[in-house]
């Protein structure tokens, strides 16, 4: 087992641990998890819980066919969310706080910062934040999509040093351990490349149980931003005993780089680009090599219908080299691309500044 240290961790618990039979809340696997949370807090550490399970918890109370509609699932979540919170609360003698999120909450900078401030205040007052996607209102276009990636976003928002993802296998294996007796646990990794991702989805080597692909996506987001990530078996109490002693009984993904600041993390991993800006060689050198702002003079093409303050990808020779918050809309930019900053007001009749994307709002990919 690999030793590790931490101070603030995001702990992600999936539906299979909350509701093993998919029909209501269960305490079957939760006592060791709750003990770990309590013991960690006694050691002066901070934990933020990301918990799935609201739909499963409310499933038995909504009449639905084999394929429940979106409305039926949202009704299940509305009932199940309160049960899930009550199920967690009974294990603790300190307050538990509920936070429900959609992708819109993460994409909007003001809400993103407010969410972070709320979490910090909860931790300061010794409450346990319990976070879930807001399944009662979320539809595809505003869903994060899975709680593994939601947990990664939360780790970045809160500047946690650790993400712990619980699954129903012991970690990442060289092959599916349920199909291949020669499969070996991979105890540690310092990067996640295409070969590593193939372990989660390739024919014959798939470790598909527990949605391994989303877990690797979450781990990749975190280690690229300086957040260590652990993948452990949440059904085994000894995995949490090991965590309490500072050991990882599963796979430990160590950070490959120092973390970016919170705004850079938000730009890189959270907000979605609404369009693309194509730039010339001079602009590429200024942005990529000199760390300068992007000016309209270096733009040679505009794709999409983005608005002012939307995120856009910056592309040079068909390669995305950066992402940033744009000061002009696509319509405005099509009128001023390729011209010097001094001519913007004469063309548009107004200006939002000389920089198309200020360097403080620009992050290299």
52-107: pLDDT as tens digits: 888 888 888 888 877 888 888 888 888 988 988 999 999 999 999 999 988 778 77
Band the pLDDT of 204: cuts 50, 70, 90: very low
Do 252 and 294 lie in a common domain?
A: no
State the pLDDT at residue 296. 93
pLDDT digits (tens, 9 = 90+) for 239-283: 999 999 999 999 999 986 665 555 666 677 667 889 999 999 999
pLDDT digits (tens, 9 = 90+) for 166-191: 988 899 998 878 788 888 999 999 98
- In our burial notation (b when 16+ CB lie closer than 10 A, e otherwise), range 278-310 reads bbeeebbebbbeeebbbbbbbbeebeeebeeeb
State the pLDDT at residue 364. 84
Please tell me the least confidently modeled range out of 28-32, 150-154, 193-197, 199-203: 199-203
Q: Considering only CA atoms, which of 227, 178, 180 is closest in space to residue 8?
A: 227
Domain final residue pick, 246, 264, 282: 264
Do 202 and 159 lie in a common domain?
A: yes
Q: Which segment, 44-48, 194-198, 208-212, is predicted with the most confidence on average?
A: 44-48
Work out the percent of the chain whose per-residue pLDDT is above 90.
46
- CATH code of the domain containing 208: 3.40.1160.10
Do 242 and 341 lie in a common domain?
A: no
Contacts of 251 (CB under 8 A, 6+ apart): 171, 172, 185, 186, 187, 188, 189, 230, 231, 232
138, pLDDT greater than 70: no
Do 187 and 306 lie in a common domain?
A: no
Do 234 and 283 lie in a common domain?
A: no
Number of domains in the chain: 2
Do 176 and 216 lie in a common domain?
A: yes
In terms of phi and psi (left: phi > 0; alpha: psi -120 to 50; beta: otherwise), the region of 286 is alpha
Work out the percent of the chain whose per-residue pLDDT is above 70.
90
Average pLDDT, the chain: 86
24, pLDDT greater than 80: no
Give mean pLDDT, residues 331-344: 93
State the pLDDT at residue 310. 86
Do 167 and 280 lie in a common domain?
A: no
State the pLDDT at residue 205. 31
Domain final residue pick, 264, 293, 313: 264
Do 171 and 57 lie in a common domain?
A: yes
Q: Which segment, 18-32, 99-113, 326-340, is predicted with the most confidence on average?
A: 326-340
Question: CA–CA separation, 110 vs 6, rounded Å?
Answer: 29
Question: Residue 233: which domain range?
Answer: 2-264
Do 59 and 93 lie in a common domain?
A: yes
Do 345 and 257 lie in a common domain?
A: no
Domain final residue pick, 239, 264, 289: 264
């Amino acid at each position: 087992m690999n030793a590790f240290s931490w101070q603030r961790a995001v702990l992600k618990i999936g539906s299979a641990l909350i509701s093993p039979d998919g029909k209501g809340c269960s305490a079957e696997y939760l006592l060791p998890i709750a003990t770990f949370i309590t013991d960690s807090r006694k050691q002066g550490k901070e934990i933020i819980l990301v918990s799935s399970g609201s739909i499963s918890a409310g499933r038995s109370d909504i009449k639905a066919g084999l394929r429940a509609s979106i409305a039926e699932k949202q009704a299940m979540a509305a009932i199940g969310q309160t049960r899930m919170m009550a199920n967690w609360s009974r294990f603790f003698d300190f307050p538990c706080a509920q936070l429900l999120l959609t992708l819109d909450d993460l994409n909007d900078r003001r809400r993103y910062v407010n969410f972070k401030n709320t979490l910090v205040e909860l931790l300061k007052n010794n409450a346990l934040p319990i976070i879930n996607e807001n399944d009662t209102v979320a539809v595809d276009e505003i869903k994060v999509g899975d709680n593994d990636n939601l947990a990664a976003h939360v780790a970045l928002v809160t500047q946690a040093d650790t993400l712990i993802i619980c699954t129903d296998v012991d970690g990442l294996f060289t092959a599916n351990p349920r199909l291949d007796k020669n499969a070996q646990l991979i105890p540690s990794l310092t990067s996640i490349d295409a070969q590593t991702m193939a372990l989660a989805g390739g024919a014959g080597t798939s470790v598909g149980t527990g949605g391994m692909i989303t877990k690797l996506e979450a781990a990749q987001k975190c280690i690229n931003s300086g957040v260590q990530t652990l993948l452990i078996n949440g059904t085994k109490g000894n995995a949490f005993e090991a965590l309490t002693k500072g050991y990882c009984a599963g796979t430990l993904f160590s950070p490959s780089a120092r973390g970016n600041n919170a705004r850079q993390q938000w730009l890189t991993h959270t907000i979605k680009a609404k369009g693309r800006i194509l730039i010339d060689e001079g602009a590429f050198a200024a942005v990529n090599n000199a760390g300068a702002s992007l000016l309209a003079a270096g733009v040679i093409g505009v794709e999409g219908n983005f608005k002012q303050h939307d995120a856009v990808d910056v592309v040079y020779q068909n390669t995305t080299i950066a992402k940033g918050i744009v000061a002009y809309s696509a319509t405005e930019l099509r009128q001023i691309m390729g011209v010097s900053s001094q001519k913007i007001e004469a063309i548009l009749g107004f200006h939002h500044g000389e920089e198309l994307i200020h360097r403080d709002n620009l992050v290299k990919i």
